[in-house]
Chain A
């Protein structure tokens, strides 16, 4: 009886040992040499696999950098620091002209400032609301504030303020652009991280129309463009937009002169 137990123990132990040794030998014989830079590049990346670079994850991007000489500045969550670290590993110089971007809601409308056509009582989701007559607000270009971007944000950078407006915390935002993709009215847009003033309106309607439905909407009056040469504003399609290519000195003046006060400082 005892012998049986012993045999059973011995045979399983032997089988296990044989397989173990076999695997150990195989792992030595069959080991594949990997470029060491791949792992160090991967360590320098944030490792959150957000996909903003266009690759399946940080590991895939690391491989592309080493094997296919992919550009080093595609990682927007990592920003400048990561790009510098990658440049050190790969022994390259890079140009830091426009790297870190953040999402920004280009709308300052809420229940107080704008009128609505009807009451929306459906699913709490911007895309669902947008399917139904492009949302309840008379303005079809503004923020619906039903929070689709809040739910999709991987780092919880987006919150709904007490006044009903959607706010993106630009220090948390990793520029994955998921909120830009999900937003049905395209009011969520990317701006450079160091930008200061922006035009908080997304409506290309004519001024007279905008004035009827929203008290803070851009009316396309061109005061910011014409009176402030160094304001860096441009009006196209009845809608002003701020230029972010360099620093402008007259932004504040233009903001004060704006009749509906659509030009706002980024919070």
Chain B
């Protein structure tokens, strides 16, 4: 599969949030206003693209030679969590503005299931290292698309009258469900038609 295909797949067709329902915790938690949603989106994209490469390396050069492929989940969680911590420290050291923009979001995604999800999906799809990197970026962009749309919807919903039992998170989940329904329009048939 070519790189454009991977991008379209993970942004629209199998969007991690709206199709796989991964990473719902930051999706609901940080989608109250657009500004922080964009910050979170960039942080997740950043972490996913790096994590995809590193987990691919760990899988190919550590787990396969040692015949320990069945430990991939636990190994990936370990690697991703420490990687995010390391990245946070590096950003804090080298770029204060970037740390200010992404810093508070990074600890939130150390053990995020969406990051682990894309790492595992890269492995099951037998991607090469570059394809994994593309997959990571695409999944992050998909996450950003979903969370920014959601933040906009919630900002507008704040101004509307919502019956008391639905206020806040219940209404957010209902709109997320409707959004997921809309995203079902993107499927593999569309992809094959687009790319010939």
Contacts and interface: CB of A to CB of B under 8 A. Distances in A.
A9 to B, nearest CB: 10
A118 interface: no
Which secondary structure dominates where chain B touches chain A? helix
Nearest to B93: A30
Nearest to A125: B161
Interface residues of A, number: 15
Interface string B95-123: 00000000000000000000000000000
B79 interface: yes
Contacts of A8: 68, 71
Given A15-B62, A15-B78, A30-B93, A23 B71 contact: no
Contacts of B75: 12, 15
B74 to A, nearest CB: 6
Interface stretch (B6-14, B38-46, B83-91, B172-180): B83-91
B82 interface: yes
A27 B89 contact: yes
A30 B89 contact: yes
Nearest to A18: B82
Interface in B38-95: 62, 66, 68, 71, 74-75, 78-79, 82, 85-86, 89-90, 92-93
B86 A22 contact: yes
Given A11-B68, A15-B62, 5 more contacts: A7-B66, A22-B86, A27-B89, A30-B89, A32-B92
* For the complex of A and B, 8 pairs with smallest distance between CB atoms: A19-B82, A30-B89, A30-B93, A32-B92, A26-B89, A23-B82, A26-B86, A23-B85
Interface of A: 7-8, 11-12, 15-16, 19-20, 22-23, 26-27, 30, 32, 123
